[in-house]
Amino acid sequence: MTHHDLGLLNGVKKLIIDGKHVDGLEGRTFETRNPATGKLLATIAEGGAGDIDLAVAAARRAFEGAWSKYTPFQRQECILNFADLIDRHFEEFSLLDTLDMGAPITFTRSRRQRAIGMLRFYAGMCTTIQGGTLPNSLPGDVFSYTLKEPVGVVGAITPWNAPLTSTIWKIGPVLATGCTVVLKPAEDAPLTALRLGELALEAGIPPGVINVVPGYGHTAGAALAAHMDVDKVAFTGSEVTGRKVIEASKGNIKRLMLELGGKSPDIVFADADLDKAVPGTAMGIFGNSGQVCSAGSRLLIERSIYDEFISRVSVFAKALRVGNGMDSDTQIGPVVSAKQMERVRSYIDIGIGEGATVSTGGSQMFEDSLSAGYFIAPTVLRDVDYRMRIAQEEIFGPVVTAIPFDTDEEAVRIANSTVFGLGSGVWTRDGAKAHTTAKAIRSGTVWINCYGTLDPVVPFGGYKMSGYGRESGIGHVDEYLQTKAVVMQNA
């Protein structure tokens, strides 16, 4: 199946507001292109501030109207129907993600269990939302209890690096709690969110509960973050944009959930099982072409194995098959855009200028089949000092910086030496060392003898400037609820 079979080139892909396909009020459009070929995939209606106003109004009507009457069981049925529909259309979603942002089709197909599993997890959470009765120390006949109520209209701003799963991460708790949402997908990969909006209606989710307004961050995204009738914003993206979301939220003191950048350390101790650690650390950074917020982009290696480990990781990286994501043999696809490719290339140049050495990769790939796309060779930079820019700033590409350490304490100090704290990894056969190191690292997730594994029941989020709030886990749903206290004294 090709992208022509999906009909992506037929007409303009419209916004979804109040259950209807509509053009943007200003009549503007933008293009989304296949990063492997540079060719046009689709033309998208561009939403602006006026369209955000309409979408928020539709979300408010749905929140206060029919959707508010749905019982937990009815919301659960809607989510399960939605999950079943996505499951039936999963090949289409795999193709959309691969064509729109470049990830290998083998990778996007492998996300089925995660995507469907998340929705079914949130379906299960619908019937667990509950308040409680409270003991009183007040005089007289007083009865106190709490209610859990949906926070209201949610503005969700999603990234381009995992369109399906990142969008479900926002939709799931909205539906579980009885909130409504206006989705602003990333302009680099909006097709999956639009298709999800269509299937939500088919699943029986009322119009206005899920609205999808593609557009640019400085227009549609800014309007959504600042909107006075949005009760909460859930944002995934860069720390720079996260600051703007925080600033925009001040108007009505809206609640925020921010999942921002990372510069995650992946620590390899000398006693690690290197046969597992080499592919584990390599794919912890090169998977999805390094375009993962929690990618293990800083490889901290105990000095006694530093040269051997870099050599083995470099051999592994060089053997990875880079190509068009639609080729089933491809292991590493392109980065998402020409802009992102230039960003990655510039950081490699910065690293070399700072004194790092290229062990493998280090350049754009120009082979005939790759010349029109945005391909960067998997890159290992060695002889890196932890204070270099390439070891402190998020590159968001297939580039790993290899940093030596001598002691356990130094490893932890280097691991904690950035402003970020999203993910981290520890590779060792020593259980005590693993748990001691995990406790000392200031990050939201520590993977031990693995990297990047995610489960709907396990919370995910950051320390420091990697944001606040947690996605996944039981607490995720609570982030979309208000707690109301009721105190009654009998007459």
Catalytic member of 179, 293, 394, 471? 293
Residue 401 CA: distances (Å) to CA of 26, 196, 287, 409: 45, 37, 15, 20
Structure tokens at 4: 């022509």
Would you say domain 265-455 falls under CATH 3.40.309.10?
yes
State how far the Cα of 323 lies from the Cα of 380, in Å rounded to an integer.
19
The one-letter code for the residue type at 384 is V
Least Cα distance to 156 among 175, 133, 129, 131 occurs for 175
Give just the sign of the alpha carbon dihedral 467, 471, 473, 475.
Answer: positive
The vertex-461 CA angle with 226 and 388, nearest 5°, equals 95
Are the C-beta atoms of residues 314 and 380 closer than 8 Å to each other? yes
Say what the pLDDT of residue 369 is: 84
Q: In terms of CATH architecture, what is 3-260+467-486?
A: 3-Layer(aba) Sandwich (3.40)
What are 31-64's pLDDT values in tens digits?
999 999 999 999 999 999 999 999 999 999 999 9
- The CB-side HSE value for 137 (13 A sphere, CA atoms) comes to 0
First to last CA, the chain: 71
Residues of the chain with pLDDT under 70: 1-10
Say what the pLDDT of residue 4 is: 43
Are the C-beta atoms of residues 376 and 398 closer than 8 Å to each other? yes
Backbone phi, psi, residue 167, to 5°:
-70, -40
Are the C-beta atoms of residues 232 and 168 closer than 8 Å to each other? no
Structure tokens at 303: 């000095």
Question: Which residue has 């005939």 as its token pair?
Answer: 368
The vertex-421 CA angle with 420 and 427, nearest 5°, equals 125
Give just the sign of the alpha carbon dihedral 168, 170, 176, 182.
Answer: negative
Say what the pLDDT of residue 5 is: 45
Catalytic member of 187, 259, 302, 471? 259
Number of Cβ within a 10 Å radius of residue 29: 16
State how far the Cα of 380 lies from the Cα of 390, in Å rounded to an integer.
12
Q: Is 293 a catalytic residue?
A: yes
Least Cα distance to 296 among 157, 453, 456, 435 occurs for 453
DSSP-derived secondary structure letter, 332 = B
Element (H, E) at 483: strand 481-489
What are 213-259's pLDDT values in tens digits?
999 999 999 999 999 999 999 999 999 999 999 999 999 999 999 99
Say what the pLDDT of residue 1 is: 42
Say what the pLDDT of residue 367 is: 86
Are the C-beta atoms of residues 258 and 467 closer than 8 Å to each other? yes
Domain boundaries, the chain: 3-260+467-486, 265-455
Backbone phi, psi, residue 474, to 5°:
-60, -35
The one-letter code for the residue type at 201 is L
Number of continuous H segments (helices) and E segments (strands) in the chain: 15, 23
The helix-helix angle for 306-319 and 274-286 (nearest 10°) equals 50
Residue 299 CA: distances (Å) to CA of 21, 104, 425: 47, 24, 9
State how far the Cα of 386 lies from the Cα of 402, in Å rounded to an integer.
9
Question: Which residue has 């593609």 as its token pair?
Answer: 214
The vertex-159 CA angle with 473 and 61, nearest 5°, equals 75
3-state secondary structure string across 343-402: HHHHHHHHHHHHCCEEEECCCECCCHHHCCCCCECCEEEECCCCCCHHHCCCCCCCEEEE
Are the C-beta atoms of residues 347 and 400 closer than 8 Å to each other? no
Backbone phi, psi, residue 343, to 5°:
-60, -45
The one-letter code for the residue type at 184 is K
State how far the Cα of 65 lies from the Cα of 131, in Å rounded to an integer.
23
State how far the Cα of 110 lies from the Cα of 115, in Å rounded to an integer.
10
Q: Can you give the pTM of this predicted structure?
A: 0.95
Q: Confirm whether 3-260+467-486 and 265-455 share one CATH topology.
A: no
The one-letter code for the residue type at 434 is A
The vertex-19 CA angle with 13 and 22, nearest 5°, equals 40
